[in-house]
Structure 1
Amino acid sequence: MTGIPSDTETEDYLGLFLNNIPLLDVRSPFEYSKGTFPTATNIPILDNEQRILIGTCYKKYGHDAAVQLGQKLATDDVRKQRMAHWIDYVKENPSGYLFCFRGGERSHITQAWLKDAGYDYPLVKGGYKAMRTFLLEQLEESIERSKIIILSGKTGTGKTRLLHQLDDSIDLEGIANHRGSSFGRRVGGQPTQIDFENRLAIAFLKHLHLKPGRPIILEDESKLIGRCSLPQSLRDKMQLAPVILLEESIEKRVDIGVQEYIIDNLNDLKGVDQDKNAPLEQLVNGLRDSLFRIKKRLGGLRYQQLSELLETAIALHGSQSDTAGYKPLIAALLTEYYDPMYDYQLKQKQGEIIFRGDGQAITDHYSQLTQA
């Protein structure tokens, strides 16, 4: 891997991301919320209101006035509080780096305060903006250089499960925290578009540098995974890429649907909610919302029929903790809603189908392919 220098600053952005180096993000919470990096922790030097005040002062009166205002706002109590959090972070992450937006005033002040307290902590030259630019440039270059294979198959065939069993895969849905369908929302919500792009770029970089020459296996996706949008260059390449087609029986697909969309989602909700009744309520409300979102495509009559199936399943689930009631609903959605869309999308693909079969057959085939 690329080495990380131990001096006061670095421009080795590749090394930072390949080595999962801890990053101390001293930008404001608002800036952090718009986008950052997977290993970054936000401990701001300025809160949102202070950042606005100093930014306004800078525009009206210039750099020196803004610095003076910053010094005025950094009271002894404020400085003491900031320092306590930074020092805790530095002790826990001695190999880390700090950054602000451009690697300017905020980074250098943070670095100076830490040095005064006895901690030499390096910064990222160019800050967030430079790292973000680097990742966007590298993402496009990585897409161009990569050999991509698409794992395709109808909804419910267990593509994501299989993807995790194959070497050389990148889980786009995992990066987007969404299962990619109308019912695909996951606990915790989705990252911002910027965070999604940053994570995607890092995943491609790691593959190309740690597994040079190996193909990248991606699950077949539309342009949007939930609200996260794939780069157009990646979508274009995916359309032309060779395809491995996962085929499973409708019975198995229904079982997978119940497991992933009902049982797994409920378990995820239980993991973050202390009220024992709330997870089930959130699950069923999410199912109702998801079904409602496709009402127009289903048509009024079919939507009503599927709503009745859903309510019957919810009642059984609530009274007897039995998830089998969801099977008729899932079977209907798969065969009547998802399968026709999939058949149409498959016809649009320009890539050759190089293998087709069930999960075990594909695992065996890919193992032989990579060892050849």
Structure 2
Amino acid sequence: MAFTLPDPLSSAPLPFDTVIDVRSPSEYAEDHVPGAISLPVFSDEERAKVGTIYVQDSPFLARKVGAAILARNAAAHLEGPLADKDGGWKPLVYCWRGGQRSGGFATILGQIGWRVDKVEGGYQSYRRAVVKALYEGELPHRVVLLDGNTGTAKTDLLHRVAARGGQVLDLEGLANHRGSLLGNMGPQPAQKGFESALIQALAGLDPARPVLVEAESSKVGERLVPPALWKQMLAAPRIALHAALQDRARYLARVYDDLATDPAQLNGLLSQLIRLHGRERIESWQAMAAAGDVVTLAGELCLHHYDPRYAKSRRSDRPETPLEITLDEDGLERAADSIAAYLASFSG
């Protein structure tokens, strides 16, 4: 038997206890069906070995060698991660295209007595559905953008609105990037992995209620915002946050305090701006970083780098609701209340 995965935007749970990805670790790391665990039947090296035998020797020998490797790895999984599964456990297994890797592992599980199924078309069928939803279709969600210059606490306010029951989509969190030169938060997911995380987040949102999304460019770090969502963002009404420059500078100094304690890393990032601002200005900014004058540096970056770019890229042909805010704790709480109230009225 083979199980057809539902629409990736569906929030309905799958009728299985565990979804198992039997592809190699690198394939799983790039992307996988949300919620799936990794139990590879080939390591990356073993997969390459079998593929080489298939091309250079014969498909028969490749299948023979591959079957032996699969059996050894299946035994390790049965004695390890699956050792505590009882007779009522119901797994769903998939590989790249629903072929021999998932078929072989599913056969072993089925012979034990478990009610096992495999994904029709494997990971490829899931990936085609994601591409159709994010690149070829139209999302049913209604987006409201949270806009504002750098340092207006957009991400912070997203989380505060979510705590008040509002629906939010945190693109920077999904992409693991703060969306600016200084926004690197560590390795970003692969594009496919980002899209799977995005589709999973969208599946958990009610299309009948508005979704608050931080205004971004078409890329978050190196990850592309898929066309279906980008189209919604371009047409969305905006809440435009406004805060005093000095207030934003102090806020940024708090948010990026990790960079403030690593002047060498900060200077390296600033060096990337030489072609835009010239060596003299960058050296003056680097001197501020070295002296620990992060608030002044943040204000300079806002005034000369971020604000002009926001002004150039911001669309002015969409409905916009201005919101003056202060960036102290009380001010952020008041702003979150106002945004939540706006979303509630927008629902009506």
What's the TM-score, normalizing by structure 2?
0.84
1:67 aligned to which of 63, 67, 70: 63
2:245 aligned to which of 241, 246, 250: 250
Q: 2:156 is matched with which residue? A: 161
Tell me if structure 2 keeps the 8 A contact 1:240–1:350: no
1:48 aligned to which of 39, 44, 47: 44
Tell me if structure 2 keeps the 8 A contact 1:107–1:123: yes
SS of alignment partner, residue 103 of structure 1 = coil
- Displacement of 1:366 in angstroms is 1.4
Gaps of 5+ in 1: 1-7, 267-279, 314-324
Trace 1:227-242 onto structure 2 (pairs within 5 A).
Answer: 227-242=222-237
Q: 2:35 is matched with which residue? A: 39
- Displacement of 1:193 in angstroms is 0.7
1:30 maps onto 2:23 in alignment: no
Trace 1:1-372 onto structure 2 (pairs within 5 A).
Answer: 9-14=2-7, 18=11, 22-59=18-55, 63-74=59-70, 78-88=73-83, 94=89, 96-140=91-135, 143-166=138-161, 167-187=166-186, 189-207=187-205, 211-262=206-257, 283-313=262-292, 325-346=293-314, 348-358=315-325, 360-361=334-335, 362-363=338-339, 365-370=341-346, 372=348
- Displacement of 1:196 in angstroms is 0.7
Letter in 2 for 1:80: A
Offset from partner CA, 1:143-173 (integer Å, 9 cap, x none): 4433222110000100111122331211111
Paired positions, count: 331
SS of alignment partner, residue 216 of structure 1 = strand
Aligned equivalents of 2:33 and 2:230: distance in 1? 23
Offset from partner CA, 1:215-240 (integer Å, 9 cap, x none): 22211111211111112343343223
Larger deviation: 46-55 or 229-238?
A: 229-238
- Displacement of 1:66 in angstroms is 2.9
SS of alignment partner, residue 344 of structure 1 = helix
Letter in 2 for 1:369: S
Offset from partner CA, 1:289-324 (integer Å, 9 cap, x none): 2212222212111000000000111xxxxxxxxxxx
Tell me if structure 2 keeps the 8 A contact 1:135–1:202: no
- Displacement of 1:45 in angstroms is 0.1
Aligned equivalents of 1:233 and 1:349: distance in 2? 21
Letter in 2 for 1:12: L
Q: 2:328 is matched with which residue? A: none
Gaps of 5+ in 2: 326-331
**What RMSD in Å do the two structures reach over aligned CA positions?**
2.9
Distance 1:191 1:15, change over 3 A: closer
- Identity percentage of aligned residues: 27
Distance 1:56 1:371, change over 3 A: closer
Q: Which has the higher helix share?
A: 1
